[in-house]
Amino acid sequence: MFEIMPLLVCLKPVLNYTSIRQLACIAEAMLAMSGRVTMLGLSRWTSEGGSYRTIQRFFSTQFNWPAIRWLFARHHLLEDENDTIVIIGDEVNVTKSGKKTYGIGRFVSKLYGKAVPSLYFLNLTLLSVKNRRSSSIMMEQITP
């Protein structure tokens, strides 16, 4: 499997070594598994150090996710100080049926040309003009 730990070393100012190791273990399992992603499924796909209890501890810990995303994007997206970075916002709606889904509402879809029952998300991305690469820094569900 692809070693992800060298990619996460840039997060040392925000995360301790234990959290970085747990994040690497969980990320490798998520990339390897197929089907539904559950904590039990993750614990089955992780290598040494990825027990069910460890995964529970990781997901119950409060992290500064905006700082983590910014550090990761800045380290892997900015290779040259003269590069231009553009922030891009995109609104996406996903059609959904049912009445019990959290955040479901009627949002305008350009594809259908009318308001349809759907979930609505806002995604902010940093784009490197020189390298033509992007990195998502925020995705948030908009409720009706």
Question: Where among 43, 63, 83 does a domain terminate?
Answer: 63
- 62: pLDDT confidence band, cut at 50, 70 and 90? very high
pLDDT tens digits along 12-60: 999 998 899 888 888 888 888 888 888 888 888 887 878 888 889 899 9
Q: Alpha carbon 109 to chain centroid distance?
A: 24
Q: How confident is the model at residue 77 (pLDDT cuts 50, 70, 90)?
A: confident
- Do 54 and 74 have their domain in common? no
| 124 close to 137: Cβ distance less than 8 angstroms | yes
Please state, in angstroms and rounded to a whole number, the distance separating the CA atoms of residues 23 and 41.
15
**The total number of structural domains that make up the chain:** 2
Instruction: Give pLDDT tens digits for 79-114.
Output: 777 778 888 998 888 887 777 777 777 778 778 888
103 and 115 part of one domain: yes
Report field, pTM of the whole predicted structure over 0.85: no
